[in-house]
Amino acid sequence: MSLDKEKIKHVAKLARISVDEAKVDSLTKDLNSIFKFIEQLNELNTDKVKPLTSILNQSLRSRKDEISDGKIREKILKNSPKKNEEFFVVPKVVE
Amino acid sequence: MSNITNQSLSKILESIKSKKISSLELTQAYIKNIENAKKLNAFVTTTFDQALENAKKFDNKPNNEQLLSGVPLAVKDLFCTENIKTTAGSNILNNFVPSYESTVTKNLWNNGAFLLGKLNCDEFAMGSSNETSFFGNVINPIGDHLVPGGSSGGSSSALAADLTPATIGTDTGGSIRQPASFTGTVGLKPTYGLCSRWGIVAFASSLDQAGPMTKTVNDCSIMLEAMSGFDEKDSTSINKKKETYSKNLKDNIKGLKIGIPKEYRVDNMPKEIDELWEKGKKILKDLGAQLIDISLPHTKYALPTYYIVAPAEASSNLARYDGVRYGYRSQKGKDLIEMYENTRSEGFGDEVKRRILIGTYVLSSGYYDAYYLKAQKVRQLIKKDFDDSFTKVDAILTPSTPSSAFKIGEKTNDPVSMYLNDIFTVPVNLAGLPALSLPAGSDKKGYPLGLQLIGKALDEQKILNIGYAFEKNCGYKNEVKKWWS
Amino acid sequence: MSKEKFDYFINGEKGKYEVVIGLEVHAQVLSNSKLFSGSSTKFGADPNKQVSLIDSAFPGMLPVINEECVKQAVRTGLGLNAKINNYSVFDRKNYFYADLPQGYQISQYKNPIVGEGKVLLDMPYGSKEIGIERLHLEQDAGKSIHDMDPSSTYVDLNRSGIALMEIVSKPDLRSPDEVNAYIKKLRSIMRYLGTCDGNMQEGSLRADVNVSVRRAGDKKFGTRCEIKNVNSIKFMQMAIEYEANRQVELLEEGKQIDQETRLFDTKKNETRSMRSKEDAHDYRYFPDPDLLPLKLEQKLIEDLKKSLPELPDNKKERFIQEYGLNSYEANVLVSEKEISDYYEEVAKLSDKKLAATWMMGELFAMLNNKGLNISNSPISAKNFAELVQSIKSGEISGRIAKEVFEIMVESGDNPKKIIESKGMKQQSDPKELEKIINEILLKNKDKVDQYKAGKEKLFGFFVGQVMKLSGGKANPQLTNEILKKLLKG
């Protein structure tokens, strides 16, 4: 299959990356060559193969239900590009 | 002691223990080397003051019982370091200062080492040449026009140029072994789950694994011992007893069965690689190992599988870089969505964006089965290939890379040819196995070449032993001329 | 109790429409710490004070699951008579939002921890079974605050990462009343189990409501709209009512219904399309590579099953058998665990049937008026039982009992003490009563003559006089008997 510009723009929207109009052509070319390479997999019949969900053959380990974290607001907010004393601050969201 | 820095880590440790050199002298020697090697662009951040402080502290009260007593180490800038800027080679983390220390680096410091600086790498470890870093490309000490490999290119370059006695990298598809091969150094990708991923900037969670990069196999075993271990903060960490790799290092490999997979002889592979492989086989055979022809029939599909799985995971792992809680935020855009789009567009480089788009696409509605699910199935087949082979052999010998170090800029316009560089390393990540890249010779241009030993899961000791025996009998010594200073 | 007929349809000009509703309930798991981190889940903390590096998705942070949250999900599944899956997988649901730090929510998609189950509702027209499609564990998001600054949104991540159970019903609900009964039943079951406090004001229980309409009698479902995140039963009912009518209107106009996500505006009492969710339908689910599949041992499930408390449906049956209650009474008294506990304590010490009548009458009315719960009732179960016994034994009359009850509410005192100190004990001594009655009959000779002449309704007058003279304490039954006897003589 081939990826057209519209599809790429849609995917970029999903990924929240704005795409420079001037770069769309070269991006389209690159992605199509990568997908052509990827699609070698279609040579293989995998109808009866179980997908691999985890490379480790063990069950999920769990932890005890104890409060052992939090109360570090300063550390949490320290790196934020925009914040006040209590909150992260972002441009207005319209629902 | 002017040439202490070109010694192996184990020699340096001996010198420290026997007080032939102080930690401070050692640290000063490395700082001098680093300052003279700015051209290589191996460092993103240096922490000299802190390192000198730590060296003095060690000298005042030396504790020689530790694995890495009094040794300064530079690490890949993908490991979060407490109160030290951590960038992952990206503009989007350009100003990020973690309040926490990754488990792996903490393990190193708990073993007596201290931080010398943070090493350049491909942006979010996505690259095979260290050319995708926001902080500029790194130069291979082997030649001023050569890439050091990637993504741990700052690590391989710094190690080969004697800017750190040993280092650590991360390996998602070959990011430790390929740069090790390109710089004539030793690199190990451990079994998935042996080293904690906690505090390492994630690229592809099911593939990422931290590992040592060193000058010798013994150094490699010391570093692995220091950095590995169970971590309850990582749900994919393997809970097992800690091993003493360096103490158990043996060079007797008589009777071991070494698999030679026929699928690793690819089209257009330089004759030198083939000859190197033959040389490797002969060395092991002469040491009493038994060579066995094996087949890993799905090898050819590993790279296409990898280029679905890794970008898919990355597209999700990198969603957190949105300019809200840390890192870069674009000032452009009238609402939240535009802020996201501009932040991520300006904050990420082209290769990272390309992979996020690939990953988003292969997971998106209508394409999941054709790409992601398909890749998970092929990954199962690749794992099974190895499982089947390891019923017959103890380890597998292959070339590390299909070529020696290439020129800067040579492959930047052709992503697929860049990706093909990882053709021999990627299957190992998909199967979660350990693999060691060893310097084994050079091509006719004199550039180093490596061979790869692949082991069963958690069989690090065995491939280190084979590597140790190989190293003693290989007769190859990588000579780096210090053209930059 | 007479059985009514189900009758909730929307009448359009072209015919009757049936409303089809399915609910996705988000119930906050009762646990000390979050699903994948050690931060507290306590409600009402200062902003961003219950946030770890994991909840705020710092680079390199990894999730580790809370064992109690897993157990709570299994308990809830067992309480819903559902299949517990020994193998389940955590997936990432990818979308961008300011209060979703990871850029994905860890949830369960293809392999949830709990499969199909059912919930039984008691409706006036009989009992109705609502199918449960699945229950899965997932992370809650943080909170975006839009009204603190005109140009910015503030983000508080205290809630980010708290464990939720998403309980998905089959599209088996047909009216706002059924939705009310369903939510209450679900909440009751979870409170019995101690797996969710069901506190809707604090957001511990919220629901996405799927609504569609179809011509009555049609087999095929109509196109549904999803109304997001409604946090009270009343709003759910209003939203359904509005949405169903909107859809019927569209259909009557010959228009199509777009499958979309809508928001219920509580101020305008209407639903409207959510623009911000336009492209959110492509969540790109895939198994979270930071977590491994969750494998539950059968023994753990069996152990949890054994330790489950008695649940409302079983308790109701027992109340009918053991206490001789009718189905309606039993239903009301098991609706909440605390109510059933209170009742059982009262019933142990007093007449079971009378206790039920008085609880459901006086006690509930008083609690309702005062806006109280049974757990903070001013009357203890023991005192309430004594009151019931005083009525039963004839010590006080029902009328006096109401007065005693009022005093108990105000003072919290024991009823015996009140009755004695205020001299409210019923006059049940026949000799004493005869004395009073004779006195009255003497005083009202004219009326006695009229009565005897056939004006029998004067009987009430004599009773009234007796009550007046005895200060209301005369035993009414005895008074009647004696009056009748003496008036004959």
Residue C1 has pLDDT above 90, yes or no: no
How far apart (Å, rounded) are the C-alpha atoms in residues B34 and B348? 28
Looking at every residue in chain C, the average pLDDT score rounds to: 93
Catalytically annotated residue among B10, B76, B181, B403: B76
B426 within a domain of the structure (yes/no): no
pLDDT in tens, C288-344: 999 999 999 999 999 999 999 999 999 999 999 999 999 999 999 999 999 999 999
Shared domain check, C395 and C324: yes
DSSP state of B482: -
Strand duo B43-46 + C91-94: pairing: unpaired
Q: Does A5 touch chain B (CB under 8 A)?
A: no
Instruction: Say what the pLDDT of residue A1 is.
Output: 55
Shared domain check, C386 and C320: yes
A81 within a domain of the structure (yes/no): no
Distance from CA of B362 to the nearest CA of C (A): 9
pLDDT in tens, B411-455: 998 989 899 999 999 999 999 999 999 999 999 999 999 999 999
Sign for the pseudo-dihedral over CA of A36, A40, A41, A42: positive
CA distances C206 to C26, C172, C203, C234, C277, Å, are: 5, 19, 6, 12, 18
The residue among C146 and C425 whose pLDDT is bigger is C146
| Number of folded domains that form chain C | 3
Residue to test with chain B: of A26, A41, A82, most B Cβ within 10 A: A41
Q: Does C298 touch chain A (CB under 8 A)?
A: no
Shared domain check, C277 and C350: no
Q: Which residues pair with C91 in a beta bridge?
A: C107, C287
Shared domain check, C454 and C379: no
Per the CB < 8 A criterion, the answer to whether B79 and B168 are in contact is yes
Instruction: Say what the pLDDT of residue C279 is.
Output: 56
Structure tokens of C218? 């049609």
CA distances C267 to A53, B335, C209, C239, Å, are: 47, 25, 18, 12
Instruction: Say what the pLDDT of residue B139 is.
Output: 98
Structure pTM?
A: 0.93
Residue to test with chain A: of B374, B412, B414, B421, most A Cβ within 10 A: B374
How far apart (Å, rounded) are the C-alpha atoms in residues B203 and C289? 11
Short-list C25, B396, C8, C38, CA closest to A65: C38
Shared domain check, C151 and C92: yes
**In b/e form, how buried is each residue of B52-71, taking b as 16+ CB within 10 angstroms?**
bebbeebbeebeeebbbbbb
- Catalytic residue status for B76: yes
Instruction: Say what the pLDDT of residue A18 is.
Output: 94
Instruction: Say what the pLDDT of residue B110 is.
Output: 98
ipTM (interface pTM): 0.97
Shared domain check, C345 and C224: no
Shared domain check, C276 and C320: no
Catalytically annotated residue among B8, B152, B157, B175: B175
B53 within a domain of the structure (yes/no): yes
Closest residue in A to B343 (Cα–Cα)? A17
**CB atoms closer than 10 angstroms to residue C352:** 17
Instruction: Say what the pLDDT of residue B311 is.
Output: 98
DSSP state of A51: P
DSSP state of B370: I
Shared domain check, C326 and C212: no
- Catalytic residue status for B151: yes
Q: Which residues pair with C213 in a beta bridge?
A: C19
Distance from CA of A2 to the nearest CA of B (A): 12
DSSP state of B84: B
Sign for the pseudo-dihedral over CA of C2, C3, C5, C8: positive
Instruction: Say what the pLDDT of residue B269 is.
Output: 86
Structure tokens of B239? 């809970």
Shared domain check, C317 and C284: no
How far apart (Å, rounded) are the C-alpha atoms in residues C287 and C106? 9
CATH at residue B179: 3.90.1300.10
B101 within a domain of the structure (yes/no): yes
Measured in whole angstroms, the distance separating CA A38 from the mean position of its chain's CA atoms is: 19
Interchain CB distance below 8 Å, A73 and C155: no
Q: Does B341 touch chain A (CB under 8 A)?
A: yes
B174 within a domain of the structure (yes/no): yes
Question: What's the domain range around C416?
Answer: 310-421
Per the CB < 8 A criterion, the answer to whether B428 and B264 are in contact is no
Q: C406 CB contacts (<8 Å, ≥6 apart)?
A: none
Region C6-35: mean pLDDT is 96
Q: In this complex, which chains have at least 3 CB pairs below 8 Å with chain A?
A: B, C
- What residues in A contact C281, CB-CB < 8 Å? none
Which of C305, C335, C354 corresponds to the end of one domain? Answer: C305
Measured in whole angstroms, the distance separating CA A28 from the mean position of its chain's CA atoms is: 19
Instruction: Say what the pLDDT of residue C221 is.
Output: 95
Interchain CB distance below 8 Å, A62 and C155: no
Instruction: Return the biggest CA–CA distance within chain A.
Output: 57
| Number of folded domains that form chain B | 1
B104 within a domain of the structure (yes/no): yes
Interchain CB distance below 8 Å, B360 and A14: yes
Distance from CA of C290 to the nearest CA of B (A): 6
Query: Half-sphere exposure of B230 toward its Cβ, with a 13 Å CA cutoff?
Result: 8
Q: Does A92 touch chain B (CB under 8 A)?
A: yes
Interchain CB distance below 8 Å, C32 and A67: yes
Q: Which residues pair with B117 in a beta bridge?
A: B46, B74
Q: Helices C476-488 & C430-443, crossing angle to 10 degrees?
A: 50
Q: Which residues pair with C21 in a beta bridge?
A: C173, C211
Question: What's the domain range around A12?
Answer: 5-43
Q: Which C residues 115-154 touch B at CB under 8 Å? A: 153
Q: Which B residues 190-219 touch A at CB under 8 Å? A: 192-193, 206
Distance from CA of C195 to the nearest CA of A (A): 14
C2 within a domain of the structure (yes/no): no
Q: Does A16 touch chain B (CB under 8 A)?
A: yes
Nearest to B93 among C59, C153, C284 (CB): C59
C1 within a domain of the structure (yes/no): no
Per the CB < 8 A criterion, the answer to whether B378 and B301 are in contact is yes
**SS3 assignment for chain C:** CCCCCCCCEEEECCEEEEEEEEEEEEEECCCCECCCCCEECCCCCCCCCCCCCCCCCCCCCCCCEEHHHHHHHHHHHHHCCCCECCEECCEEEECCCCCCCCCEEEECCCCCCECCEEEEEEECCEEEEEEEEEEEEEECCCEEECCCCCCEEEEECCCCCCEEEEEEECCCECCHHHHHHHHHHHHHHHHHHCCCCCCCCCCCEEEEEEEEEEECCCCCCCCCEEEEEECCHHHHHHHHHHHHHHHHHHHHCCCCCCCCEEEEECCCCEEEECHHHCCCCCCCCEECCCCCCEECCHHHHHHHHHCCCCCHHHHHHHHHHHHCCCHHHHHHHHCCHHHHHHHHHHHHHCCHHHHHHHHHHHHHHHHHHHCCCHHHCCCCHHHHHHHHHHHHCCCCCHHHHHHHHHHHHHHCCCHHHHHHHCCCCCECCHHHHHHHHHHHHHHCHHHHHHHHCCCHHHHHHHHHHHHHHCCCCECHHHHHHHHHHHHHC
pLDDT in tens, B333-357: 889 999 999 999 999 999 999 999 9
Q: Does C68 touch chain A (CB under 8 A)?
A: yes
Interchain CB distance below 8 Å, C39 and A60: no
Interchain CB distance below 8 Å, A33 and B415: yes
pLDDT in tens, A42-73: 999 999 999 998 999 888 999 999 999 999 99
pLDDT in tens, C437-466: 989 998 998 999 999 888 888 898 999 988
Structure tokens of B423? 């053709």
Which regions in chain B score pLDDT beneath 70? 1-2
Short-list B411, B429, B177, CA closest to B303: B429
Cis amide leading into C31 (omega within 30): no
Question: What's the domain range around B9?
Answer: 4-232+245-254+464-474
How far apart (Å, rounded) are the C-alpha atoms in residues B444 and B79? 36
Q: Does B340 touch chain A (CB under 8 A)?
A: yes
Short-list B106, B257, B197, CA closest to A55: B197
Shared domain check, C286 and C344: no
Instruction: Return the biggest CA–CA distance within chain B.
Output: 70
A16 within a domain of the structure (yes/no): yes
- Catalytic residue status for B407: no
Interchain CB distance below 8 Å, B339 and A91: yes
pLDDT band at residue C275 under the 50/70/90 scheme: low
**% of chain C exceeding 70 in pLDDT:** 98
Instruction: Say what the pLDDT of residue B1 is.
Output: 42
Which of C272, C305, C338 corresponds to the end of one domain? Answer: C305
Distance from CA of C208 to the nearest CA of A (A): 16
Q: Which C residues 262-281 touch A at CB under 8 Å? A: 263, 274-276, 279
pLDDT band at residue C427 under the 50/70/90 scheme: confident
Distance from CA of C300 to the nearest CA of A (A): 14
CA distances C483 to C323, C394, C425, C450, C470, Å, are: 37, 19, 20, 15, 14
How far apart (Å, rounded) are the C-alpha atoms in residues B276 and C473? 114
| Number of folded domains that form chain A | 1
Rounded to 5°, angle at Cα B106 from B100 and B179: 100
Interchain CB distance below 8 Å, C53 and B372: no
Per the CB < 8 A criterion, the answer to whether B410 and B137 are in contact is no
Q: Name residue, tokens 């992605």.
A: A31
How far apart (Å, rounded) are the C-alpha atoms in residues B78 and C59? 9
Q: Helices C381-392 & C398-411, crossing angle to 10 degrees?
A: 160
Region A10-24: mean pLDDT is 93
Measured in whole angstroms, the distance separating CA B109 from the mean position of its chain's CA atoms is: 19
Residue A90 has pLDDT above 90, yes or no: yes
Per the CB < 8 A criterion, the answer to whether C17 and C9 are in contact is yes
CA distances B96 to A70, B327, B390, B412, B460, Å, are: 20, 5, 44, 28, 34
Instruction: Say what the pLDDT of residue B430 is.
Output: 98
Region C84-100: mean pLDDT is 96
Residue C2 has pLDDT above 60, yes or no: no
B38 within a domain of the structure (yes/no): yes
pLDDT band at residue C278 under the 50/70/90 scheme: low
- What residues in A contact B428, CB-CB < 8 Å? none
Which of C421, C438, C472 corresponds to the end of one domain? Answer: C421
B61 within a domain of the structure (yes/no): yes
Q: Does A22 touch chain B (CB under 8 A)?
A: no
- What residues in A contact B329, CB-CB < 8 Å? 81-82
Interchain CB distance below 8 Å, B377 and A50: yes
pLDDT in tens, B151-200: 999 999 999 999 999 999 999 999 999 999 999 999 999 999 999 999 99
How far apart (Å, rounded) are the C-alpha atoms in residues B262 and B257? 16
